[in-house]
Structure 1
Amino acid sequence: MPEVYVIGHKSPEADSICSAIAYAELKNRTGDETHVAARLGPTPPDVAFVLDRFGVDEPVLVPHVRVRVRDVMTTEPLTAGPNTPLRAIGELMTEHTVRSIPIVDEGRLAGIVSERDLARRYLEELNIQSFLEKPVALGQITDTLEGKIVLGTRETPVAGRVLIGAMRPETIREFVREGDVVLMGDRENAQQLVLEAGICCLIVTGGFEPGSSQVETARAKGASILVTPYDTYAAARLINLSVPASRVMNDQVATAGPEDLLTEVIEDVLASAHREVIVLDESNRPVGIVTRSNLVRPPKRRVILVDHNERAQAADGIEDAQVLEIVDHHRLGDIETAEPILVINRPVGSTATIVASRYDELGVKIPPATAGILMAAILADTVLLKSPTATEADREAVQRLASLCGEDWRRFGEEMFAERARHASYVPSEVLRQDLKTYRLGETKIAVAQVELVNPERLLEMREQLLLEMKKFAHDAEYDTVILMVTDVIREGTQLLVAGKKRLAERAFDAKIDEEGVFLPGVISRKKQVAARLAEAARA
């Protein structure tokens, strides 16, 4: 079955990334299906520091969870080369029950041959196929006629008109020209005449062997001879199918990429003359095919959500995906599922704490590297266990994980936050978007972004630019209020900047909020000390 993505929220940070990695590892060790850790955006520098420290690869980037072409396509499509005889193409279609065969030249798509193309050629061809326009190899004709070569080689080129030698010997010379291909039965006199006329190839039908004198004449004239078991009528019809695929292929082919959205390709499939779309990689090589049958009940992408359970924070297209589990420590949101699922939602400071406990509950030993990234996630989400969201379960988990990975958690946490400060962005748009969460409180839509720094003074000197960006973001994204928490890890407090409608925030924190913002001592948790107060004020 397709893989299951274990995926965090839209603003990747330590808890969402590290929990996704650790939970995917746990699921892979305890089940038969393949689970892949994923992220919805770039890995922040401090998280990259954590992953590098413990030698862990970052999750794959998944921009959305809508159904892609690769989720429904038939992989490893049958292909043929441009020189493949049409009969071989037809046999491939019959053997594998397909309606068309992509034609590739040096691995890259050149065109397509369909059943319709073969049928049209067979029905519309009034004359026996000529090889004047494009020679074919003797071996191709031999394979098509299921014959054997008496004189010549498989590589010998055959170029000329194709004629049936059904005339009387005395009149046949009037029809045959030098370089022609002639089909006839065991009429040795007629065979001798056409060979002496300089034909390029004699096809003897009915399985009859040519006489020695005819073979010698052919050798002297440089002609080829092959014998087919088919009678002359059947051989004449079949020879039309010895031409290469390049002669009849259609080079106007509907194509798509593996990552294209299925919704954007459906129309192409239905509108295509071949009722299918060839899926190409970046090198124009076929990697799959989508037909109408692939469009019947396409499978949904399967996901496990970690560190979030609200649609606004989830991957684009989450409404089209199949959510299998939710592992989170936030309030319950608005994710809906068609059937009951496993939801693990606990009042702790970090999703990583829940993931660590799941290892214990399932009797799985936590590897040192996994213990290291889980420890880092807890420290990041609880601000070195100083946040009021930190629980005894978080503290116990950090102590145990630190012993498993061999790190002093306090020293490591300080290094991690120092790394965050070293890479802190001072571009207002990046500051606002790097860790932003959306909350809907009744009819009010609020964005709360947070930056945690050891020394926030430089950033706070940019209040004017930050507020301008916040106002622009509120207008463009249709937020009623945009809040930026500039959290001082050392002072253990937050400078709160607010753009848009401020009254709700002023009620929540019982303070007048101007352009300078307001400093909130002891406030370092977005979830418990900001979002919770806003929700309470909205209900009042």
Structure 2
Amino acid sequence: MENRVYIIGHKNPDTDSIAAAMGYADLKQRTGMPQATPARLGDPSPETRYLLERFALPPPMLLADVYTRVGDVMNAHPQYLPTDATMRDAGTVIGEKRIVPIVDAECRLAGVVTLDDIAARYLREHDLASGAQSRIAIQSMVRTLDGELLAGDLEGDWQGRVWVGAMRTESMVTLVQPGDMVVVGDRERPQNAAIELGVGCLVVVGGIPPSTETVELARAHNVRLIATPHDSYRVTRLLNLSIPVSEIMRRDAAYADLDDLAQEAEETLSGRETVALPVVDADRRLVGIVSRGDLLRAHGKGVILVDHNHSTQAVDGLEQAQLLEVLDHHNLGDLHTPEPIYMKLEPVGSTSTIVAELYQDAALDPAPPIAGLLAGGLVSDTLLFRSPTSTPRDRAAGTWLAGLAGISLDELAQGMFRANSNYEHTTPQHLFAANLKVFEWGGRRVGIGQAETVDIAYFEQHAEEFREEMRRLKQTENWNYAFFLATDILAQSSKMLIPGDEERVVANRAFGINATGGCVELPGVVSRKKQVVPPLARELA
């Protein structure tokens, strides 16, 4: 199983979410958790991209979910065999998983052989006596018999009946046909008689080599002559295991894809005789094998949440993961864990502030690019300390980070706000989703989007498009209410766009106003966390 610990912000990540994830991952790597990996749950905003480009930092990896997948728990180094391997080869490698994948020349899955298949074939010893239906490669036969080819061509194959030369020579010559196989011990007369009959193969058992004359006779008649240390009984059993696995493999056997959910693999194995599944990639190449034991031992991916602690905002599959820590500056959410974990929820303006203070606690300085990114996250969430959520701790952390990065916070803020207010290549639908958070109060699901801007006119011009998008999402996402805040950074106020009468009634009660249209004016309101969520939660809880 992979040992990464993902440090993840919320869905529809804002700048603070991504900055905190990257900054905290760097700190964890430097303090004993090298597997800490920053991740994001959506595309960076223009503001975030501006910061990443300015400080020459790659965006964190995009993560769809943290469900446990087959690739996380499989054995990545499985035993497997080519299609021309023998049944005896399969028996030696099949192991406790009771199954061996069979692959073609390009390592693509061709089928599987199970322990039951081998056992069934081993018991069918009459097949060869009555005439083998499968061709057996001479190389495979010699290898399976632990034998030595004394005469004849090692290339090619054999097919026919098998005779054990226990009868009188006179009887044998009346039964054996050209092309048959004769298995005989240290008896030169029947050995030579079989050669002169033109048998396809003569196997001399018991570990006693045939005479030089017999070997020369076999060469003269172009008869394959094999000497083996095994007795006649074991040879006939081993011949049955010389056939290629391709003859009896299960070509339609179940398998798992690398990205299948572990739960789906469990369901596939449930009720089946086999205890394991081959695992293939998109090109059907074998990449592993997963057993019931592997699935039972799965313990979920390690996850640390930053900048949120509500399940509706968290990565999909969190219930299957190992939640290790939470680092946030929002109200306490609804997460549950089976055991105690480290949680740090602080009443400050940004999670980047908390990360900066943790660097200080560890007596470490973030590198200038990380310091600049954290400063950007702090500036974004506090609106350059103008937000009512801003605290002296935020200002102190911002000053310290700016010094390490060698930047001016005022100049950084101007660049960020300009980047975030360029709407040339975006749409109202994208803007609503870009910084959306979903809450659940009193059994009601509420979606609240926000955009911070220095171009409030854009939102006034496209207000109806925002309302249409909210109406659509209420239906498709099963929300009870939807709101959107267009926050004017310069005027320090917000326009709340509402899609219908239900939201208007709730807004009027929550904010003590008497709005009548589709836009609610909220002077002095700039913080969703501190000025919008609490009154709505009180009204709807």
User: TM-score normalised by the shorter chain: which range applies?
Assistant: over 0.9
**Residue 297 (structure 1) shift:** 5.4
**Correspondence 1:385-396 to 2 at 5 A:** 385-396=385-396
**Residue 382 (structure 1) shift:** 1.7
Alpha-carbon contact 1:45-1:423 (below 8 Å) kept = no
Q: 1:415 to 1:248 in 2, by over 3 A?
A: same
Alpha-carbon contact 2:375-2:402 (below 8 Å) kept = yes
**1:330 maps to what in 2?**
330
**Residue 229 (structure 1) shift:** 0.4
Any idea what SS the aligned residue of 1:170 has? helix
**2:99 maps to what in 1?**
100
- Deviates further, 61-70 or 250-259: 61-70
Find the aligned partners of 1:147 and 1:398 in 2 and give their Cα distance. Answer: 79
Find the aligned partners of 1:184 and 1:273 in 2 and give their Cα distance. Answer: 40
Any idea what SS the aligned residue of 1:343 has? strand
Q: 1:264 to 1:423 in 2, by over 3 A?
A: farther
1:64 is aligned with what amino acid?
D
Alpha-carbon contact 1:497-1:515 (below 8 Å) kept = no
**1:508 maps to what in 2?**
510
| 1:51 counterpart = 2:52 | yes
**Residue 268 (structure 1) shift:** 0.9
**Residue 218 (structure 1) shift:** 1.7
Find the aligned partners of 2:15 and 2:293 in 1 and give their Cα distance. Answer: 42
Find the aligned partners of 1:342 and 1:131 in 2 and give their Cα distance. Answer: 71
Any idea what SS the aligned residue of 2:64 has? coil
**Residue 530 (structure 1) shift:** 1.4
Any idea what SS the aligned residue of 2:330 has? coil
Superposed CA deviations along residues 409-429 of structure 1, whole A, max 9, x for unmatched, are 322332223222335665343
Q: 1:448 to 1:226 in 2, by over 3 A?
A: same
1:103 is aligned with what amino acid?
I
Aligned residues: 537
**Residue 362 (structure 1) shift:** 1.7
1:354 is aligned with what amino acid?
I
Find the aligned partners of 2:287 and 2:505 in 1 and give their Cα distance. Answer: 57
2:111 is aligned with what amino acid?
G
Find the aligned partners of 1:98 and 1:478 in 2 and give their Cα distance. Answer: 45
Find the aligned partners of 1:246 and 1:330 in 2 and give their Cα distance. Answer: 61
Find the aligned partners of 2:426 and 2:512 in 1 and give their Cα distance. Answer: 29
Alpha-carbon contact 1:425-1:431 (below 8 Å) kept = no
The unaligned stretches of length 5 or more in structure 2 are none
Alpha-carbon contact 2:504-2:518 (below 8 Å) kept = no
Find the aligned partners of 1:271 and 1:424 in 2 and give their Cα distance. Answer: 57
Any idea what SS the aligned residue of 1:75 has? coil
Any idea what SS the aligned residue of 1:102 has? strand
Any idea what SS the aligned residue of 1:299 has? coil
**Correspondence 1:103-502 to 2 at 5 A:** 103-105=102-104, 106-128=106-128, 133-152=133-152, 154-296=154-296, 298-422=298-422, 426-499=426-499, 500-502=502-504
**1:37 maps to what in 2?**
38
Find the aligned partners of 2:268 and 2:424 in 1 and give their Cα distance. Answer: 46
**Residue 156 (structure 1) shift:** 4.4
**1:26 maps to what in 2?**
27
Any idea what SS the aligned residue of 1:502 has? helix
Find the aligned partners of 2:17 and 2:329 in 1 and give their Cα distance. Answer: 11
Find the aligned partners of 1:108 and 1:361 in 2 and give their Cα distance. Answer: 53
2:96 is aligned with what amino acid?
T
**Residue 514 (structure 1) shift:** 3.4
CA RMSD of aligned residues (A): 2.3
Find the aligned partners of 2:433 and 2:210 in 1 and give their Cα distance. Answer: 84
| % identical aligned pairs | 38
**2:68 maps to what in 1?**
67
Alpha-carbon contact 1:140-1:154 (below 8 Å) kept = no
Any idea what SS the aligned residue of 2:347 has? coil
Q: 1:9 to 1:172 in 2, by over 3 A?
A: same
**Residue 232 (structure 1) shift:** 0.9
- Deviates further, 491-500 or 299-308: 491-500
Find the aligned partners of 2:218 and 2:295 in 1 and give their Cα distance. Answer: 57
Q: 1:125 to 1:514 in 2, by over 3 A?
A: farther
Match of 2:521 among 496, 519, 522: 519
Find the aligned partners of 2:392 and 2:205 in 1 and give their Cα distance. Answer: 92
Find the aligned partners of 1:439 and 1:256 in 2 and give their Cα distance. Answer: 36
| 1:84 counterpart = 2:85 | yes
**Residue 157 (structure 1) shift:** 3.3
Find the aligned partners of 1:441 and 1:261 in 2 and give their Cα distance. Answer: 31
Superposed CA deviations along residues 173-213 of structure 1, whole A, max 9, x for unmatched, are 22222333322111111111211222232211001111122
Alpha-carbon contact 1:481-1:502 (below 8 Å) kept = no
Any idea what SS the aligned residue of 1:9 has? strand
2:158 is aligned with what amino acid?
V
Alpha-carbon contact 1:439-1:445 (below 8 Å) kept = yes
Find the aligned partners of 2:467 and 2:334 in 1 and give their Cα distance. Answer: 30
Alpha-carbon contact 1:163-1:182 (below 8 Å) kept = yes
Find the aligned partners of 2:422 and 2:540 in 1 and give their Cα distance. Answer: 37
Find the aligned partners of 1:19 and 1:129 in 2 and give their Cα distance. Answer: 74
Superposed CA deviations along residues 248-273 of structure 1, whole A, max 9, x for unmatched, are 11111112223222222222102334
Find the aligned partners of 2:282 and 2:445 in 1 and give their Cα distance. Answer: 41
Q: 1:24 to 1:170 in 2, by over 3 A?
A: same
**Residue 531 (structure 1) shift:** 1.4
Superposed CA deviations along residues 11-58 of structure 1, whole A, max 9, x for unmatched, are 212111221122122222212562222222233343233223323232
Find the aligned partners of 1:393 and 1:522 in 2 and give their Cα distance. Answer: 22
Find the aligned partners of 2:143 and 2:423 in 1 and give their Cα distance. Answer: 68
Find the aligned partners of 1:269 and 1:361 in 2 and give their Cα distance. Answer: 49
Any idea what SS the aligned residue of 2:413 has? helix
Superposed CA deviations along residues 370-427 of structure 1, whole A, max 9, x for unmatched, are 1122112112212233222222222222222222223333223322232223356653
**Residue 345 (structure 1) shift:** 0.9
Find the aligned partners of 1:77 and 1:131 in 2 and give their Cα distance. Answer: 35
Alpha-carbon contact 1:445-1:480 (below 8 Å) kept = yes
Alpha-carbon contact 1:158-1:200 (below 8 Å) kept = yes
Alpha-carbon contact 1:6-1:306 (below 8 Å) kept = yes
- Deviates further, 284-293 or 243-252: 284-293
**Residue 227 (structure 1) shift:** 1.0
Q: 1:536 to 1:98 in 2, by over 3 A?
A: closer
Any idea what SS the aligned residue of 1:5 has? strand
Find the aligned partners of 1:227 and 1:415 in 2 and give their Cα distance. Answer: 85
